[in-house]
Structure 1
């Protein structure tokens, strides 16, 4: 399996990258990010594209072609952003990349990391939830082999994964030990970056019963507690 990861330098993306590199059935991993990942591995091809988030058209077709699965882990917090800014960095970027990727790899599986609370009706009074919902719906309309949306809630970074958002880094530094205890007590509500990576690989291999997956379903997929479907 050939995997393409967007956002491997971020917290969730780095966890997904780790699981992909460890998986025996993953032949190669291509990472596209604005900043390089501090990892060297025989499977890993790093493509640093500093401007692609602002100008997705700067990606070459060769950056995107010949992949079996794409894990789209890019995301920004809506704090301090206008709806126009957040839409451009979330909806516009994601759909622009996904549309081109679908043209080049229609038999690929596309997995998008959204967030708990995203609104599929597109009518929420909460700006970020509405924009995420519009993004999800746009992705689900694309004719990939499979499209699945992950909506994790609380995520614990493991194995050196670090958030790029300062407020999140402070939060994790303060509650890290407590979060470990809570995750063990409530594993279907508090996910780890490891679990998310394992669930995404499970989806790439054999799909999932639902297109939109909340935390509990993500956990069960990672733990193979619920059968997937093709």
Structure 2
């Protein structure tokens, strides 16, 4: 049975978060969207509420505004390139867990969707990005949410017309059709990722770790159910 989705989106000033916000605002399955940003998104929509908050390591001043939501699409993240190990750990594991722990207290009936990445290592071996992401996935699964999913996209094709696509993707988008044909599990569109994340809120998926093929399957099933 479908419920009206009331979603919190983090990272809406980045490529993935902006795409999730955009697709949520367009989706008839989503009634409300709350974005938490360090700076204004400059987007206006009847469904949209925005909280500007500088310190994601301390959400206590705004925690009472986070109650009443049944989904979180967590798209906040950084690349490990150029980051020291302890800095990457803080900005990936520590930050994500702080936000998730606050939300688990406020909204225990929430479905929490974490954008991880292809190649994540849930065995937590070593101290590289894959192990940090793996530890983050593992510990999110232990929190008392209704559901937790870790989404592991590879190459993500941006949504045309949105402003926060990384220049890296803009320059190599021409590779997408070739990559999709040769290795579909490693290539998805941002529309597909968003559709898959919205889909699992009302339609629980048997896997908690959502790889590339699962993302495409969930997106296609969402189209069929419309």
Structures share a fold, TM > 0.5? yes
Q: Tell whether the 8 Å contact from 1:91 to 1:132 is kept in structure 2 after alignment.
A: yes
Q: Tell whether the 8 Å contact from 1:158 to 1:194 is kept in structure 2 after alignment.
A: yes
Q: What secondary structure, in the 3-state scheme, does the structure 1 residue paired with 2:221 have?
A: coil
Q: Tell whether the 8 Å contact from 2:157 to 2:190 is kept in structure 1 after alignment.
A: yes
- Following the alignment from structure 1 to structure 2, what is the Cα–Cα distance between the partners of residues 157 and 107? 31
1:173 paired residue number: 170
**How far off its partner does 1:57 sit?**
3.6
RMSD value over aligned CA atoms? 2.2
- Following the alignment from structure 1 to structure 2, what is the Cα–Cα distance between the partners of residues 59 and 14? 24
Q: Decide which of 182, 187, 198 is 2:178's aligned counterpart.
A: 182
2:207 paired residue number: 210
Aligned residues: 220
Ranges in structure 2 where 5+ consecutive residues have no aligned partner? none
Q: What secondary structure, in the 3-state scheme, does the structure 2 residue paired with 1:149 have?
A: strand
**How far off its partner does 1:80 sit?**
1.1
List, as ranges, runs of 4+ consecutive aligned residues in structure 1 with deviation greater than 4 Å. none
- Following the alignment from structure 1 to structure 2, what is the Cα–Cα distance between the partners of residues 86 and 187? 29
Q: Deviations over 1:144-183 (max 9, x none)?
A: 000000000111111334557xxx41x223222332x236
- Following the alignment from structure 1 to structure 2, what is the Cα–Cα distance between the partners of residues 207 and 31? 24
Ranges in structure 1 where 5+ consecutive residues have no aligned partner? none
- Following the alignment from structure 1 to structure 2, what is the Cα–Cα distance between the partners of residues 146 and 41? 28
| Cα gap change, 1:104 to 1:218, in 2 (>3 Å) | same
1:196 is aligned to 2:193:
yes
- Following the alignment from structure 1 to structure 2, what is the Cα–Cα distance between the partners of residues 97 and 25? 24
1:20 is aligned to 2:9:
no
The more displaced of 155-164 and 200-209 is 155-164
TM-score (norm 2): 0.90
2:119 paired residue number: 117
- Following the alignment from structure 2 to structure 1, what is the Cα–Cα distance between the partners of residues 164 and 127? 23
- Following the alignment from structure 1 to structure 2, what is the Cα–Cα distance between the partners of residues 183 and 56? 41
